[in-house]
Structure 1
Amino acid sequence: MKLYAIALQCALFTLAEQASRDDSCVCELRNSEQRFPHDKLSTVEDNTSECNSNITSQKTLELESLLLGLERRLPQLQEDVAILERENDGGLYGALSLQVIENEMRDIMQLIEKLNSTTLGHQQLITDTTQQLEDFKAQMVELEKYDTMQVVKRQKANRILKRDLDQCKNGLHPTNQPTQPTQGICPYGQFVNITGAVVNTAGEYPGSYKYGAWGRDPKPEAGKESWYWLVMMTSNNRFSNYVRRYSSLSSLIVGVSVPGNVQIHSTNPTTNTIQGPNVVMYGEALYYNCYNQDAVCRFNLTTKTVTTLQLPKGTRFAAQLCLSVHS
């Protein structure tokens, strides 16, 4: 009896398994569309990003900076040559001036060489970029064949339509351009570039004085338009009691002070002499921090007189520079 039951159960299991196999259905699905090349699209995107990184505004700014530097240096060279022709005495001054001009010509040649190399680099970049854009265009046209639903085509049409609508709208309602700069108050615009200092010689007193100030009067007297001034910290690198005058930039570089020194006081330091390198000249007057005072001194180089402007108590010397510059 037990053997019969076991045999019956085995027969039922076999029939059920066979019936399950016979009822199964296998369908073969074939996609008539081509497989989209995702790896090719990824390659195009990577190449596009690399192309964009090679074209930056810094490259354009570098070329503009070199042209601006060359534009500034050539007139300066012409002016120095003209000064040499007027002031050359055939001796030491002439030899030093020739050395200055030689250094300036060397700097100009370096600018020209760098400008040439930069221009060639930009030309090669333009050629390579043009070829890459043609390749990108061909690859994208090839990839558009996989857009059977014409999604990309419709997006292009929508962008063109939106652009045309914007142009039409702006044409009917033109935007008034601002007449004043949007940022800052300087009428000459923003800085284009700032370069490092150019050193021609070690100066008149190499290694003797570490701190001081020099420049040119923006409001000079008649006949002193090319004059320069120099103030050196001569006592403990903190104090000074005179200003040194030069008839030209070449004279300043080679250290030939024809006008000589204009002394504020015979003692250094003392009342109303210079404390610190915060010095500026304007209108044939020297503005500086008065010695041990919360005040700005004004030394008139013509009359050799000093006037002071008292500042609020507690004013630090570092703040007086801004006050003297804007006076």
Structure 2
Amino acid sequence: MISTLYFVALLSSTMAWGRVGLWSEGSAKNETGGGSGDRCSCDAFLPSSTFPIKDLVAVEQTAGEISHKLELEMGKLDDYETKLTAYAEKIIKLTAEIEKMEKNPDAYRDVDVDEMKVQIKQVEALIKELQLSIRGSTTVFKSLRIQITAMVGTLNRLEKTYDKNVVLVTRREYVKVQLQLEECERRHQELFNPNIGSCAHTGIIKVSKPIVSHLNAHLNSGYKYGGWGKDSKPVPDRESMYWYSGYTSSSIVDIRFYTNYKNLILRNQFQHHNLHSSWTGTGNNFIIRDNTLYYQCNNPFGLAKLNFTTMKYEHRVIARASTRFSYSNSPNQNFDFAADESGLWVTFATEVSSGRMVIAKINEPSFGVEEEWQTSVYKPGVSNAFMVCGVLYAVRTVDIQTEEIFYKYDTKTKQESHVSVPFERFQDKFSNLDYNPTDQKLYMYNDGYYVNYHLWFNHTAKATVEPPFLLS
């Protein structure tokens, strides 16, 4: 009979040295000198591929370091908020004093004017100091994003190679720090990007690096077609809601809702709607607005609208729209819905326009077309498009890593122009790209991954709530 301790010792030794094979049989001498002499033994040989615990430990240590840095940044944000309030009060008082001086200059002595100049210089110095701190926080966020992206790569590699349950605990740590970073960036944006909702700018001048959130809710890279994002006109109590719809083809078969970003990442949906056969759509250029799905349907070919509050379905046909012209990245993207600060839009191409894109403004209550604009950009040469403040921005593929905003058409002035604003993709191809006016971000569904981008605009006027420290 095999000794249990002897077997365990052999097994432990084999695991430590990683010998190749399965079993070998043999005999071992009785070293105590007693008994009949020989006894039977079995050696267990395990594969040489041992679990890389060092990688997991490194990820956990990185998660701890990032968490600590984020706690420090959250403390800084509290400090920024306090300083902003104090600086604003000082500037209001200084402004009032300067106005008094301008109205009655003879009532003030030179020494009073000199003292006012000193106070202005002091505030300017404080503002410059705060600007440097803010830039430092932005740099920290970028650095942490890079670290978290590296963590994603390590965890994905381990999950593909080893037992997912073993990696799960570490992935939870990753999710925790990622959520901390999102909260930190959200507060940073609220404090220092007061221009959300404002169209006092001449257009997009820069797009951030891709911010990769997660593989889709199915955790399946085969779900290459779909979209995700936020409601562009959220109903009360759903301002933080996210949505996702994905499939292995360009069909739209269902949609999932999450109360907030945390639940999106944790795949904890609060609603899941299956689109029955008469509501099924296609095209991957759908959006959620006012808790309503706007999308393309093919039977008959046209526009579809499904309100998730009332579950009312509506359909409209645009007779001129053609089924021949899609975006370059994926099929059936004939209608592209978009939403911005000025409302709801849809773009398409016609035979009469020879495949050039047409912009149409949609009346949301009637679901009818209010007005149309003809552009000169050829739709099959475009990888995707979106609307910002009544301006169409068209995107094309430059190389395997780069997209470029290359064209824009302003519906207010009916002027079009060519621009060059390059930005980076996370994966090779994407099926959905939309702007959301509630946070001024681009949302991309990129080969099954949730990706988003911050936008920078060339502002021509200051927002009414803009903190004075942002002045140059």
What range is the shorter-chain TM-score in? Answer: 0.3 to 0.5
Q: Going by fraction, where is strand more abundant, 1 or 2?
A: 2
Q: With CA pairs under 8 Å and 6+ residues apart, which has the higher RCO, 1 or 2?
A: 2
If you compute each CA radius of gyration, which structure gives the higher value, 1 or 2?
A: 1
Normalising by structure 1, report the TM-score: 0.39
